[in-house]
Amino acid sequence: MNYLILLAFCFVAATAQVQCPNPQPCSGACGSVHDPAIVKKGKDSYYRFSTFGGISIATAPDLKGPWTVQGDALPGGSMIDLPGNTNIWAPDVHHIGNLYYMYYAVSTGGSQNSAIGVASSPSMDTGTWTDHGSLGILQSPNYNLIDPNLLIVDYGASLLLSFGSFWTDIYQIELSDPLTIAPGASPYQLDFNSTGIGSVEGSYQFWWPTNGTIYYYLFSSSGACCNTPPNLPPPGDEYHINVCRSETPNGGFVDKNGVSCLSANGGSLVLGSHDNVYAPGGEGVMYDSDVGLVLYYHYVNPTIGYDSQDFQFGFNVFSFDVEGWPVVTG
């Protein structure tokens, strides 16, 4: 049954001219990874951050590993006084100035009683992180304060934080510095899928010049994240990675067919289920001078298990097609 589901969605992907390459090889601590965030430090040192506990940190000399777990960024949990503050979600890490900043979420499953926090470190190593608590974004019935992602525009001239999950999906807010909401700023909506089965979360923004134009790409995880047998969703309704793009970072996102990702349920498939890769999502994007453009994510390998502790770390390289849309290539 599991393999029929995987092959079915791979067939759908193939008809949409989406390639289904397997993840690159991974050695060492490649399992129990959910919502990964990757930062390269220097020539040959990679840091991987992932959901649960106080945000697990693993390091490796290469994206392929061997990965070694070092401990938690915030071993005592977050100072945010909400349920779930010792089991932190969805890290997003960036180097700004002389510090690394880690945005994270405090929440519990299915709850909007959530907050986005931030911590900083001079090195990313365990024992060096300082928790600054909540960014102070107000809760709202329209969105959920989880899955933060920072977009650095114009080399730091503008900082835009996207977030959201289900309800009315993806929002963005401007920061004046890595720790502070810009004066007068309030969240505005970027992406919404009204179909229910395709609700959007785990947004990741990335800019890249293609065909002489700087495009802002909005990657997201759409579909059902974490179901286990016998309660798997119909093929194609499980997690998969979509993309939209715009010539501005804060709105106007459309898919390959020009369909609005805010008002008309747009979104173009980048990576879906195939072979022993089921429900890829929790994605991020990076440029590595040694590897190229990299899409990283977590996924389920049905031969290992569907539970959260069984999620696997995966990554692929990608490029852009002649029209400037991401294509996973290997």
List the one residue out of 169, 146, 174, 186 whose CA is nearest residue 222: 169
Enumerate long-range contacts of 107-111, CB under 8 Å, 24 or more apart: 107/82, 107/83, 107/144, 107/145, 107/146, 108/83, 108/84, 111/83, 111/84
CA-CA distances (angstroms) from residue 188 to 154, 161, 172, 174, 273?
20, 11, 6, 10, 31
List the one residue out of 175, 147, 176 whose CA is nearest residue 34: 147
Q: For residue 156, what is the DSSP state? A: G
Contacts of 163 (CB under 8 A, 6+ apart): 105, 116, 137, 143, 144, 145, 146, 147, 148, 149, 170, 171, 172, 173, 187, 203
Active site residues: 35, 201
